[in-house]
């Protein structure tokens, strides 16, 4: 595993899961994470 992209991660999850992920997959060269701090809703 050399590259990993994660999207839609809630900011409230903290960073411990990222640290655990990097410990089990230390060969990751590219890590792209998109986080959000609120739930988006359609304005209709």
Residue spans per domain, the chain? 3-36
pLDDT tens-digit series, residues 3-43: 989 888 887 888 888 888 888 888 889 989 888 887 666 65
Give the contacts of 29 (CB within 8 A, at least 6 positions apart): 2, 3
* C-alpha span between 18 and 26 (Å, rounded): 11
pLDDT of residue 21: 84
pLDDT band at 1 (very low <50, low <70, confident <90, very high): confident
What is the model's pLDDT at position 42? 64
């Amino acid at each position: 595993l050399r590259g990993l992209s994660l999207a839609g991660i809630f900011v409230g999850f903290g960073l411990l899961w990222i640290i655990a992920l990097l410990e089990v997959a230390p060969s990751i060269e590219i890590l792209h994470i998109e986080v959000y701090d609120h739930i988006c809703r359609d304005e209709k």
